[in-house]
Amino acid sequence: MAVTASGETGGDWAQRTYEAMAPVYDDFTAHYESEEWIADLVKALERRGLRGKRLLDVGCGTGTSFLPMLKSGWEVTACDISAAMLELAREKAGDGVQLALADMLDLPEFGEFDLVWALDDAINYLLSPEELQQALAGMRANLAPTGLLLFDVNELQAYRTFFVETTVVERDGRRLVWRGTAPPDVAAGSICESKMEIAPGEVLTHRQRHFPEAEVLAALGGAGLECLDVYGHGLDGIPSQPLEPTHTKAIYIARAAA
């Protein structure tokens, strides 16, 4: 597996970050309109013939994205590299979900799923095109023959704004400070960091890589997947086509190549 100069994979970085961030993660993301976003993503999947109700959520975090699926009758298996995030997911979801500690760079074959997804930045914690292809190959191995894969990636616009700026979130007397450290003209394919202060003097690092569309398409092909759709959206979270330079996120839908 390709590793960065530090000798650490994206999984190593993400695990450290999310073990520390877990207690404040839901506070930091409380303003997200996740249910509406998920509903729009499911509509996009339905336009591509989504059938069945078995979901594998890769990088599930505290369960924000799979909970609406669970409510609408999906059978959910979910995994994450952070045990602390999974513990919070368990508290919310109860025993109705199969949860596993797993690195998407070494994804077990959990079964055959009608839908495999990795949402809300999970993919951007991978740090090279080789890691991306490896993770996608693991997801492909979990797809049912007619299954669909969906994931989002942050676009350059996000790294040139959110990863440049300072954002403060105050909730229940807690103050979380996100300090982007990227230059405003950061180049495509760069690794960007943000320092996040979760308590006075307690700072963790988010380390993410931007994946340009050409790299994503090459990684999908290399993993034996065929791209069906690319959508983009801005801060409103409403997917549209085509993907534009002003979009902060891209959404990819794929299936196993014939």
Ligand X SMILES: C[S@@+](CC[C@H](N)C(=O)[O-])C[C@H]1O[C@@H](n2cnc3c(N)ncnc32)[C@H](O)[C@@H]1O
**Span 111-140, contacts to ligand X by CB under 6 A:** 119-122, 125
Binding segment (CB under 6 A) for ligand X, from list 6-14, 178-186, 210-218, 226-234: 6-14
| Tokens, residue 190 | 């760069």
The position carrying tokens 């991978």 is: 126
The position carrying tokens 């002003």 is: 246
Q: How far apart are CA 125 and CA 112, in angstroms?
A: 25
> Taking the mean position of all CA atoms in its chain, how far away is CA 228?
19
Judged by CB under 6 A, the residue of 61, 129, 180, 239 near ligand X is: 61
- Per the DSSP assignment, residues forming a β-bridge with 88 are none
Q: Is 196 in the site for ligand X (CB under 6 A)?
A: no
Task: Answer positive or negative: Cα dihedral of 155, 156, 161, 166.
Answer: positive
Judged by CB under 6 A, the residue of 85, 116, 139, 216 near ligand X is: 85
Residue 59 or 180: which CB sits closer to ligand X?
59
Beta strands in 88-216 (DSSP E): 98-101, 113-118, 143-154, 166-171, 174-180, 191-199, 202-209
Q: How far apart are CA 226 and CA 257, in angstroms?
A: 5
| Tokens, residue 256 | 């196993």
Q: Is 248 in the site for ligand X (CB under 6 A)?
A: no
Contact between 208 and 124 under an 8 Å Cβ cutoff? The reply is yes
Q: Closest by alpha carbon to 55, among 122, 138, 144, 133? A: 144
Q: How far apart are CA 172 and CA 162, in angstroms?
A: 23
User: Residue 128 Cβ, how far from ligand X at the closest point, in Å?
Assistant: 12
Binding segment (CB under 6 A) for ligand X, from list 99-107, 143-151, 188-196, 250-258: 99-107
Judged by CB under 6 A, the residue of 82, 128, 154, 248 near ligand X is: 82
Judged by CB under 6 A, the residue of 44, 45, 64, 192 near ligand X is: 64
| Tokens, residue 12 | 């190593």
Judged by CB under 6 A, the residue of 41, 44, 55, 60 near ligand X is: 60
Residue 6 or 146: which CB sits closer to ligand X?
6
Residue 61 or 129: which CB sits closer to ligand X?
61
Residue 13 or 143: which CB sits closer to ligand X?
13
Residue 134 or 157: which CB sits closer to ligand X?
134
- Per the DSSP assignment, residues forming a β-bridge with 257 are none
Residue 20 or 156: which CB sits closer to ligand X?
20
Binding segment (CB under 6 A) for ligand X, from list 56-64, 67-75, 178-186, 217-225: 56-64
Q: Is 65 in the site for ligand X (CB under 6 A)?
A: yes
**Residue 69 corresponds to which amino acid?**
M
User: Residue 204 Cβ, how far from ligand X at the closest point, in Å?
Assistant: 12
> What is the binding site for ligand X (CB under 6 A)?
10-11, 14, 18, 59-61, 64-65, 80-82, 85, 103-105, 119-122, 125
